Structures are given as C-alpha cells and as structure tokens.
Chains A and B, each alone.
Chain A
Amino acid sequence: MPYISNTDAERHEMLSRIGVGSFDELIKAIPETLRLKEPLKLPKPMSELEITRLIQGKTCRNVCVQNTNSFLGAGVYDHFIPAAVDSIVSRPEFFTAYTPYQAEVSQGTLQFIYEYQTMICELTGMGIANASMYDGASAIAEAILMAVRKNRLMKAILPATLHPEYVKVIKIYTEGIGVELLTAPAKNGIMDVEALAMMMDDSIGSVVIQSPNFFGNLEPMHALEKIIHAQPKALFIAACDPIALAILKSPGELGADIVVGEGQALGNSMYMGGPLFGFFATKLDMARLMPGRIVGGTLDAEGKRAYALTLQAREQHIRRDKATSNICSNQSLCTLAATVYLALIGREGLKEVATQSAQKAHYLATELAKCPGCRLAYPDTPFFKEFVLQTPIPAAKIIDSMLPRGIFPGVDMSRFGHENQLMIAVTEKKSKAEIDELIGAMKEVCHV
C-alpha cells in the first residue's frame, strides 16, 4: 500500500502495545450504527506506472498554451519564467514545510517572506505588505473590509472597468458585513472622472481603481486620487499589475492608501487559473488593520538577526470572531516563486519585461486596427499590455476558425456582455513572427 510504512506485523505489535486486540476497539467511540458497512465505491488502486499512463492519456485531450500561439489574458498571463524559479520552489525544504509557527526551524520561509514583503513595497510604493492573499479578487475584497475597519463607512465604489469576476468575489465577501457596493460608470474604457466626482460624499468609505483595468487601459490615477481624497475619510484602493509597476508610477506615489493585485504574472504558471496569489500592501500606520500573515525582523536570544510572524494578535487563532479576517493558510509557495522571479529578473529585467510587453502589444494593436472591419474599442485611451479589439464578426467565430491553426486570438468579450469584441493580451514571450501570424490570420478571417 503506498505511503503507509507500517507492515501488518508492526500494526499488530502496536495494537498490542496500546492494549487492544483489533483496530475496531480503538474506534469504539463511533456508534456501530454510524459506521460504514460497505467499502467506498472507488476504482481499484493504481500503481505509479498506471497513474502516469492514465494522466498521459488525459493530458493529450488538453491543448496547452505552450504549443499554441496564445494571446489570452484577462487576469492570468503567460509571462516568461526562468528555470531557476522551479528549481528553488520545488526544493522539499520549502515545498513540504508548514506555516512557520516555530520560528527557529523556519527561518528559510520567514526570510523569503520578509524579502517578498520588501519587494512588494518597492513595487507598490507602500510601507508594509502581508504574506499574500488567495488571489487578486479576494485581496480587493479584504481591502474594502479593511477600509471599513478604518473609517466605519459602509459604502464602497467599484468602477465599471473592474474585472467582472473580481466583482463577483468582492460581492460575496462584503455582503455579510453589510457593505453597500456602488458602481461608478466608465467612459471610453476608463473611469468617468466627473461621474465619480458626482457620486462622492462623506458616506463613501473606499473607492477601488484597477489600473491597468479590465480592458487593459490605464486609469487617470492623478485625477481620481484628487476626487477620492477630497473626502477626508475615503480610502483609495488601487489594484494593479505588478509587471506594469516596473515602468509606471507606483500607486504609493499616486496617493493610494491600500494597494492590491494579482501576483500570478510574477513567476507562477497559469495552471488553468489556480493557484493564483493576491498581494496586499498599505501604509505602515494601518498595519494593525491589515488582514493576513506578516513577517517581521527581530533578534534571537543571542542578539542575532532573526525573523518571526508578527502582529498575530489581529488574527483568527487569537481573536476568533473579532479577527481582522478569517484567512489562515495563504499562498506562500506562490510568493516564493514571485520572490525568486523578482530576484532573477531584477531591477532592469522587470523593466525590460514590462517594456517589451507594452511595445509588442502596441505594435499588434496598431496592425490589427488596420484589418478589415476591425478597430480598437478604445483608440484614444492609453493601455499597457492588453487591449480590446472591435471585430466585424462575432469573436466566437474568430476563435473557432483560428483553433485549427493553433492560435488562441484572445478572450471572447461576449461572455461579459460585449458583442463582437476580443480582448487581446501580449507578453514579452510573443515573438514578432507569432504576432505577425495573428495579424495575417485576422486579415483572412475578418475578410468576409
């Protein structure tokens, strides 16, 4: 039997040391009537070789992005991952360790989290970051709840330019506490600044701005910040792409109070959308209101530098129903990948990743806008690495006709209520030849 060490003889020996004649005596506290009479209805156990063959068979029925010319994005991105990332992440010393409850034998985990927190603060321009949330969506939701803890105001504004899947998650997280979510309208694929100004009053607790937003466009952060902070109590929650932060102004510089986002793009594979990880940073003076785990530097008994989990008095295992959040496990291994990725890519490398992604995306956008019947949905709005293309025929048709050629041209926006639109993402991984292949294919497909 795999993964169980004890032999039958050893089991007998152990049972007799315990002082029972059979296993059943050990579970006599379970009433006979509750116990299963039949074995579970599951297939016969498989050997390692058999499961390997089975999985080979199943994976054949997937088409993976690696063997395709893919322009899919909308929240999960195919950025390059250096080989050394997995080499470190898969080390059992990190991989099979647990939450660092015993600091003296967990310094490896604690220190990388401390380094991760530092990197996130550098990128976002904030003073403190936590050790991660489940994903970008839950991070925004927790940010709204944190704003409620800060100012006790129960209204939050979400922009119409926020990822629709995020909105669903935010709704479920905030409704129990009684937060009222308001939607601020969009204009030309970004927030309508004047409309937001009209919505603001002293009952608004927080405003979420995603930039680049769901459509890939960059929001006018300066103008939005002024409007939000015209209300002294309202908090500005910025959700952003960490890659973009290498070249674009940090939300901290732009006056954000809480900065969150999806971290998958930093060294983590797409895995059909999970695991992802949310990053979460804020100003130092709001540390105690923050959800999630935090690592802090300290000293050991000999005065040597050491690390430990800190500010735990906010957490569920101490505060129970009064805790800042119910989060217990986080996405530690994903943040290890992000830490190693950011170390390897480095200061110049991340700028290069961001620059090439933007350059290639803009080249593609310019060329696709020339295809018959195509135009950019938001031609006058700056975007980062993703944009929406208005197409002459339903996007689903384009996607279907490109499937046999091994091209995923983008996300069909009709699933979000936008007909004849494709959302197209480009990363530094796309070669010019691949981009040109899509341009060529679009010209053929749209020429009807």
Chain B
Amino acid sequence: MSETIFELSSPGRRGCTLPNREIDTPLSSIFPSEMMREKDARLPEVSELDVMRHYIALSHKNHFIEKGLYPLGSCTMKYNPKVHETLVRHSCFNNLHPYQPEITLQGSLELLYELQDDLAEISGMAGVTLQPVAGAQGEFAGLKIIAAYHKAKGNHHKTKIIIPDSAHGTNPATCSLVGFDVVELKSNAEGRCDIDRLREIVDENTAGFMLTNPNTLGLFEAQIEEISKLIHGVDGLIYMDGANLNALMGIVKPGKIGFDVLHFNLHKTFATPHGGGGPGCGPVGVVEKLLPYLPVPMIAKNENGYFFDYGHQATSIGKVHTFYGNFAVMLRAFFYIKMLGAEGLRKVSENAVINANYLMKLIEADYHVTYNEYCMHEFVADSSWQKKEYGVNTLDIAKRLLDKGFHAPTIYFPLIVPEAMMIEPTETESKQSIDAFAAAMIEIAQEIRENPELLHEAPLTTPVRRVDDVRAVKVLDPIFKIET
C-alpha cells in the first residue's frame, strides 16, 4: 500500500524556501479580520526529498510510451520526440504573458501564424483557428460555427445533427451542449454509414452531419461524395472529427473532398505527450464560407508584424478560452510538422496504416476481426466467441495484456461491437515491437483455451491486482481524510 503525501507530513517540515520578507506590513492592516482564514488549509508539510521519493515511487506504477506499446485505438499513443521538450521549455516561451505588448511576442506569433497555414495546407481548409484546447472543445467550436452559419442565413428550422452510432461519445455530448438535437445513424453491415438510411433521415431540418473519418472501426468512409451531395443538398454542413487524421496526411485533404469543418487533435496527430489525460489542443479548420465565424482572435500579419486579430468580431462565434489556447501544445505541433515536412507526414500515415494491417494479419487467426477488409491506422477485434466458448471477456484479455508488459487496447468501444478491442499500434512502433505484441495476443488466445481461470485472475504482476471499479462508485471516496 502506498501512502499518500498527507501521511508523510510532519509539522514544521519544509519542501522549499522563499525570499525573506522585505516588506512586512501586518496582514491585519491589509485585510478586514472577517475575511481572514481562521483554520489553515491542511497541505502537506514535507521535504523536497520526501516529495521526490513519493512521486517517483508513484511514477513507477504507471504505464507510459517509453515503457511499452500503448495500442489504445483512436487515442493515437505514438512516441513523442524529446527535442520538442527541450525547445518548448525555452525561457522565451514559458515566461511569456498573454497581455505583453504584441511587439514583444513577434517570435511566438510568427510560429502560430505559420502553424495556422500549415494545418490549413494539411487539411485542405481555407482557414484554421488554434484556440480550442482539446478535441472536444474543437468539436464545440466547430458546431458553434455551424450554428452561426445557419443563424446568419436565417435557417432557424435547422435543429438536428446526424451522428453515426460508431462515433466518439463526445460528438453527441457536444451537440447537446451547442443546443442541437442528435439523430443517430446506424452503421451498415460493412461498418460504414448506411446511405439508404441517411437518405431517409436527412431533411430540411438537418443542420449538419458529424463524421469521424477514418471511422472508429478503422475504415475510410468511402461514400463521402454521396454523403456530401445529400447533406449539402439541404444546405447542411459536414463536420469531420479529425481524431484519426494520422491515417490521412498527404493522402487525402478533408477540405477538398466535401468536409466543411474539421477539428485536429494536435496531441494525437502531431505528437504531444498525453500527460495522463491532457493538456491537448483542438484547432478547427473551415472552408471559405465559414471563415467569418471562427473564434477571435486569429493570428494575422500586416506591415507592422504579427498580431492578435479581432477584425471579424461582429460575425465570430466568440471565444472558447480565456487567452489564446494551449500555446505550449501548439509549439510542439509546429516542431513536429517542420521536422517531418510533406514527405515525412505522408510517411507517418503510410506507416500507421501498414503497422495496423500487419498487426491485424498476425492476430486474425486467433481473434475475430470485425470487418474483413484492409483497415486504416486501427482496427476492431471482437472476442465475443471467446466469451461464449470459454467465459473469458474482453476485459479479462485486456487485464492479461497488462501482465505481459503492454497497455490494453481501447475496450468496449465502438459501442456497436459487443466485445470490442480497438487496436492502434501507431506508426512509431517497429516491426519487432508489433511482432512481440502479436505474440502476446496469441499466447493469451492459447491461455484462454487451456486455462480460462487464469484470465479471470489477471492481472497478476501489476502494482495492484484487479481494481474494484464498482466499489469506487458505491463507497465514494474522492478525498483523503486528513487527521489534524
């Protein structure tokens, strides 16, 4: 059992020193007494060494990219180049204030201006805002733009957004937040949008269609031209969830094949460390007619240099972040694009696709692969037959993989595949590491046949054994009870 930092606390112990007081006005002459705190916040009292040992000990209980393969489908857990970290920590990046005079921010603004342009080129969009701070916030900004477009045209009847049943959960949640009604579109037997069904549900009230491409089953939505005709035919707009863009760079430009709005996940596609769940960055690209609605400010350039441009304030959806988004994440994407160039980005996509298909081939004899065709950068396996035959479900398989030094794939998603394992090896994995992962998967398949009980016991070698999620909900314990 690992102690919390609070249990290491010892009254009077200090973890860092602060400057001596040069001005020592009594607080009682600064604040009215009724505003002052009577009881201290019980923060830990520990030394720097206590802190280092405690958090290093915790760090050893984590899986992370440098430790082993992280095949979380749709999360794109690729390797994060180290040079990014050296560069981003430059004191002339991390010590900038958002309200400095613009003439003192020219280096940064120039980088952001170029990044806007590069992302527009990669996606085929007319303009890009870097402001949204996460993929889901990008979705939010994108749907706000769709809402603003319809409002400006007087399309007040357009209240619904169509979303496939294979979509990320954020898509419908974002629709609700923006105030649209969600209409679900079932996938067809091939794992793609059912065009016939789409034809039935598209009508005058359709504001837009939200599509992940490649979709969460790892398949390219090849009928995009037909979808485009249908949706644009009723003056609807097509939103692309760009979570899986690392399969398309240099191969397809979404802005040129029918999509009107797209969000990027810079942290996925352009390799920012995921940081245990963030921060990320979710820029949004739009076609020409939607430029007036982008959030303010944009980064622009005139004869005096680069500046925060509020010029289209009157038509803009407004602002989604206090300042200008996650600058430090944007920088990493800038470095990544500059180091790879056109050729490198295309290679990234090619390798993502090759690695996924190679892995799929290696394990398809032991696991049921849901859709029998080549995939893009990820694929979905379904262990329903293992469940039926041996009573071993996907969760058991995932836990057993942890024992073998790998992170588990995304499980039970997409929702349309019952015992789903959504596997994305990413392009940074070598043939050898994919071989090793496949070997572990095949070994597990063997174990399921010979000793299914072992799978229910898994994991056996991790820092803790299988964690009781149900108890975490039933006996809610969200904070440590500190004894004073």
Contacts and interface: CB of A to CB of B under 8 A. Distances in A.
A448 interface: no
Interface in B330-389: 335, 337-348, 350-351, 353-355, 357-358, 361-362, 373-374, 376
Interface string B31-44: 11011111011111
B201 interface: no
Which size bracket describes the interface of B in this complex? Answer: 35 or more
A298 B318 contact: no
B322 A90 contact: no
A99 B276 contact: yes
B66 interface: yes
Given A272-B97, A326-B139, A61 B25 contact: no
A403 B344 CA distance: 42
Given A27-B220, A107-B463, A336-B276, A1 B347 contact: yes
Q: Which of A44, A329, A346, A403 has the most CB of B within 10 A?
A: A329
A234 to B, nearest CB: 23
B462 interface: yes
Contacts of B314: none
Given A4-B351, A72-B97, A114-B480, A45 B343 contact: yes
Nearest to A126: B479
A98 B2 contact: no
B1 A340 contact: no
Contacts, number: 679
A230 interface: no
A146 B469 CA distance: 25
A11 interface: yes
Interface string A80-104: 1010101110111111111111111
A129 to B, nearest CB: 7
Contacts of A446: none
B275 interface: yes
B274 A96 contact: yes
Contact of B90 (A34, A55, A305): A55
Contacts of A262: 322
Q: Which of B91, B275, B467 has the most CB of A within 10 A?
A: B275
Contacts of B42: 122, 347
A228 interface: no
B58 interface: yes
B463 A59 contact: no
Contact of B59 (A26, A93, A121, A400): A93
A168 B118 CA distance: 28
Contacts of A58: 107-108, 110-111
Given A316-B172, A321-B175, A356-B21, 5 more contacts: A18-B374, A36-B251, A42-B122, A315-B169, A319-B173
14 contacts: A11-B354, A14-B431, A19-B361, A72-B97, A86-B89, A111-B58, A115-B5, A172-B318, A249-B37, A273-B97, A306-B467, A346-B13, A346-B15, A356-B21
Question: Across chains A and B, which 5 residue pairs bring their CB atoms closest together, nearest first?
Answer: A273-B323, A333-B275, A273-B98, A176-B179, A5-B430
